Structure 1
Amino acid sequence: MNKLSPLPSHAAGMELDETALKAAATSHLDEGAVTPAFSQHRDDIVRLLNDALATELVCVLRYKRHHFTAHGMTSPAIAAELMVHATEEAAHADLLARRIVQLGGKPDFAPDTLLARSHADYDTSSDLQAMVKANLVAERIAVEAYRQMIALIGDKDPTTKRMLEGILADEEEHADELKDLLGT
């Protein structure tokens, strides 16, 4: 049986720059976890997150409207699912707002620009099937938007990337559930 030899404590090319660590840690303490190396991308990431926040808020409003206005034989079960989605979208909005603040930004909840900043539309359908379809379209928009955001952010902000990947997984699940409801 071969024994693996331990890695040397300082493998060639794998050493941290201690001077840079100390400089990053001691400058701009008022910015919390945002270090100078990250700050060059912060404004763009905050803008992307604020647009995602607007999208989530519009989705909450659309889902709630559909929940309360759904009618028909299958509406109680579908309405209940729409409220579950509304609650999950609100949780996404909270995650996004919290991350924006962590990055030193200001979450934009301004109702007068919400629709203009949202990737998804609000919908006033009264037909149950049209409601489900509108929500499925919105979820597919969210899925694509989060995929693009994850690609754009890449390794520039691993924490935000992981958060977005979690939200993306939820949005994909929502889309699958809505697709199944269309078959009801």
Structure 2
Amino acid sequence: MASKTENKPSSDRLVLNEEALKKAKSSLDDGAVTPHNDGPWVKDIIDLLNGSLATELVCVLRYKRHHYMADGLASPAIAEEFLVHAQEEQGHADRIAERITQLGGEPDFNPATLLERSHADYNDSNDLKEMIRANLIAERVAIEAYSQMVDLIGDKDPTTRRLVEEILNDEQEHAEELKTWLAL
């Protein structure tokens, strides 16, 4: 069954769907949501993004706490990196929230349900090695979640998929850095 925006091949040629292009000229209140990305999966993508938003916010809080609580010989450099990671996670959260609103959804910043919606855990350890370990676990969880999202979204929403892939790349870099610190 063809979707409403699927292009119909004309003698095996790739052509744009003219009806979808005409529809893009209307419904201006929908902003970035055009017929191409106005499918039955939009709510699911918004839900996935809200789960990621919760995860990023929990990561910001965990990294911030670890930044202020890091103690020990190697801690000044690591504490500063925890702060850098917190800022990068905040940037991820902001980009995710922006995409949710572009898709017509509402970003869920409700602190009362943040931990239950997050894929990652909060950690209030005062031990530097345990902080690094907890952050590495959280980054690995985020990597797995974002990898699954890339697969789930596929070609349904290229803009969201690219966003998720960019964040996934950052999370992989964080995990490699944390792995190195854990070995110190």
TM-score by length of 2: 0.90
For 1:72, the aligned partner's letter is: G
Output the CA distance in 2 between the equivalents of 1:103 and 1:15: 25
**In the alignment, is the contact (CA less than 8 A) between 2:20 and 2:35 conserved in 1?**
no
Secondary structure in structure 2 of the residue aligned to 1:54: helix
- Structure with bigger gyration radius: 1
Tell me how large the CA RMSD over aligned residues is: 1.4
For 1:125, the aligned partner's letter is: S
Pick which of 27-36 and 43-52 moved more: 27-36
Q: Alignment length, in residue pairs?
A: 174
- Aligned: 1:35 with 2:17: no
For 2:183, the aligned partner's letter is: G
Secondary structure in structure 2 of the residue aligned to 1:76: helix
Relative to total residues, which structure has the larger helix share, 1 or 2? 1
Percentage of matched positions with identical amino acids: 62
For 1:90, the aligned partner's letter is: Q
Q: Which runs of 5+ in 2 are unaligned?
A: 1-9
CA deviations 1:60-111 (Å, max 9, x no partner) are: 0000001101111111111011111001000000110010111111111000
TM-score by length of 1: 0.90
Output the CA distance in 1 between the equivalents of 2:80 and 2:19: 56
Output the CA distance in 1 between the equivalents of 2:69 and 2:20: 58
Counterpart of 1:176 in structure 2 is 176
Output the CA distance in 2 between the equivalents of 1:48 and 1:38: 15
Output the CA distance in 2 between the equivalents of 1:66 and 1:26: 49
Output the CA distance in 2 between the equivalents of 1:12 and 1:36: 23
- Aligned: 1:58 with 2:58: yes
Counterpart of 2:134 in structure 1 is 134
